[in-house]
Structures are given as structure tokens and as C-alpha cells.
Structure 1
């Protein structure tokens, strides 16, 4: 049969992928599924909290409000602002700073 085409079947098989590629693929799939489950859990908790607390408007978050926003705190040009943090006595042998014993205050004078 010269000049005609023949279909030749081979008994050779395609080389197998290295094992680490298959294991890596499974690890990626498992991590993706875990991430999806965490995102689904977070979304369901957010939805539950929204349903329980209601979707009330928060005035401080309004775009036209004068609350702290993208510009940050605003004060008159001549004002002096002081941050007051009341702490317990400090032990110089400890690396950590002292713990707060009262709420932090922001005091503004002048202006």
C-alpha cells in the first residue's frame, strides 16, 4: 500500500505527571474550598447580625456629616490639642509599656 495513508496504533503510553504536581493541585483545591467556606461563614454572620440589629443609619457615617472622616479631625488654627493617657506606675525593668488605668482623653484648648 504505498502512497496510501495508514493509521498506526502504538502501545506506548503517555508519560505520567510527577506526583508532586498532582499533590500540589489537590492542596490548591483544598485551600480554595477552605477559603470559600470561611468567606461564606463570614457573610452569613454579617447577614445574621444585620438581621438582628437592623440596617439603621449611623449619623457619623453620613457623607454630609461633620464627624471624623477622610480629612481627619479639624480644629481651629490656634487650638492646642493634647492626648491624655493615664497609666499605672511604670517599672523600668519591663519592656512593655504600662497599662492604661483610665480611658484616653483628647483635650483641646484655645482657638
Structure 2
């Protein structure tokens, strides 16, 4: 009686199969698409919050500067810029104008 040796089993190769790679690619694609859908809304919220804070800061500075006198007749955009009352984020356009986060003009009048 001779014993026949069984051939050794072939173990699967280490690593990921095609199905796993396709699933990972699908998940990454879905996450990327979600990021592209959410990103514009998040940046808009940040810009709005930043501009609201800048307008509050500007109003407080103008009130502290011209409110003491009791009259806001001399308040103008140029006056605010010359006195250094404008927040740094509004002074980005040029020396004579102010702009908001979207590049729109910010004007100050009495």
C-alpha cells in the first residue's frame, strides 16, 4: 500500500483583488463628488461670516471716531481709509477704495 501524497493547496496571492480595488475606487469617487458639492456652500458661509464681522467692526470704529462729535456728516469712504478705521480685510483693493470678500465695492456714507 502506497500513500499518495496530496499536492499542496495553492494559497491565494497576498494583496487586494479586483473587487476590493473597484470598491475602494468607488468610495473615493463618491467622497470626491460630495466634497465638490459641499465646498462652494462652505466657502460662501465663511465669506458671509467674515464680511458681517468686518461690517460690525467698521461700524464700531466709525461710531467711536465720529460718534463722539455727535455728527456723522464728515463720514465717507475716503475719510474712513485716511483715518485708518477700515478693517484690514476691506483695505485690499487699493488705497482709495474698499472691497468685500467677493471683490465688490464697500462704500461708507453718513
- Relative to the length of structure 1, the TM-score reads 0.33
- Relative to the length of structure 2, the TM-score reads 0.34
The structure with more helix, counted as a fraction of residues? 2
The structure with more strand, counted as a fraction of residues? 1
